[in-house]
Amino acid sequence: MKYPSRLQLANLPTPLTKLEKFKVEGSDVQLWVKRDELTGTEVSGNKIRKLEFTIAYALDEGCDTLITCGGIQSNHCRATAILGARLGLKVHLILRGEKPEHPEGNLLMDLLAGADISYLPPGKWRTHVDLARELQAQYLQSGAKAHFIPTGASDEIGLWGYIAASEELQEDFVALGMEPDYIVMATGSGGTQGGLLVGSKLFDLPGKVVAFNVCDDAKYFEDKIIEDVTLWKQRYKMEFDEGDLDIHTIEGYVGPGYGIADQEVFNTIAELAQSEGLFLDPVYTGKAFHGMVTEIQKGEKGQFSGASDIVFVHTGGLFGVFPQQENFRFG
């Protein structure tokens, strides 16, 4: 595969490991985890894979500043802030929410990495792209050139991150002599799901790509992925039939809302930590993993009926555990 400009920022390849001790009650399904929470320490998770392409593009365009946006505990914003510090780029984040008195989790790391932050109250969030454009103009006036990265770096450039990850998965499957029935992940801005869907076609991966949405709904992700893939085809002159994409988003596991989880999700996080030493987060991976386990437990009536091997893509998010620590129950 001929990739566009790319920086080497992530620790790759990440391992694909079998869960030996965590078993889904009443099922023989073998679970595997693609350990993308190990792409780095501070910059762990899925975003760094996309940002390898996004930041390379920004540098090719002569930019010295990155502007991006997300929730107050955005993993993507934290990854951008830290990579900016590492590469000597200025980073300006637009975060949804009020400025907290005591920053914690990802926000604490954004500040430690020296990012400038504009807080936008949720009611004004619809204007965040306008604000980004205003900031770009202000930076230009002061002699800087800023690239605006959309939420989650999910666009036709960031899509390459999980296309490249699909090539890595192909190598993992060959090395381990395994053929999963499903490849499962959390979806929030659609770029990981979209990249894996395209990559699974390009690299002829075994296993259906299935996502659990943590916000919005299945229709939103279908539209978003088609849009990103259409722009990707145009920008990179790729031959690809987006009609071939079997976009499957399982609804029903958002819980009370984005960033708010039911007690069962916290219990699943604790169970996996205790049985495997593997840490999920309550915003993304915990909800998706919990959804996957619940669907497996439904047996023939569930979404994974007949499956023997399932790969869960661990997309990171560890720092999102700490701001929600009061939700864990011990003894």
Ligand X SMILES: Cc1ncc(COP(=O)(O)O)c(C=O)c1O
**What minimum distance in Å lies between the beta carbon of 47 and ligand X?**
6
Q: Closer to ligand X at the Cβ: 139 or 225?
A: 225
Residue 192 interacting with ligand X (CB under 6 A): yes
Residue whose C-alpha is closest to residue 50's, from 77, 31, 88? 77
Residue among 148, 212, 284, 304 that touches ligand X (CB under 6 A): 284
Candidate segments 10-18, 191-199, 225-233, 299-307, binder of ligand X by CB under 6 A: 191-199
Q: Closer to ligand X at the Cβ: 214 or 307?
A: 214
Find the binding residues for ligand X in span 31-70 (CB under 6 A): 45-46
Q: Can you tell me which residue has the tokens 């499956």?
A: 307
Residue 88 β-bridge partners = none
Q: Closer to ligand X at the Cβ: 46 or 166?
A: 46
Number of residues that bind ligand X (CB under 6 A): 20
Residue environment code for 9-38, b if the CB has 16+ CB neighbours within 10 A, otherwise e: bbebbbebbebeebebeebebbbbbbbbbb
Element (H, E) at 228: helix 218-236
Amino acid at 194: G
Taking CA atoms, 304 is separated from 20, 194, 210, in Å, by 20, 20, 10
Q: Can you tell me which residue has the tokens 């990739």?
A: 3
By annotation, the residues acting in catalysis are 74
Candidate segments 134-142, 186-194, 246-254, 298-306, binder of ligand X by CB under 6 A: 186-194
Residue 317 interacting with ligand X (CB under 6 A): yes
**What minimum distance in Å lies between the beta carbon of 199 and ligand X?**
13
Q: Closer to ligand X at the Cβ: 139 or 190?
A: 190
Instruction: Report the alpha-carbon distance of residue 314 to residue 288 in Å, rounded.
Output: 10
**What minimum distance in Å lies between the beta carbon of 76 and ligand X?**
6
Kindly report the CA angle at 316 between 109 and 89, in degrees rounded to 5? 40
Interaction site with ligand X (CB under 6 A): 45-46, 75-76, 152, 154, 186-193, 281, 284-285, 315-317
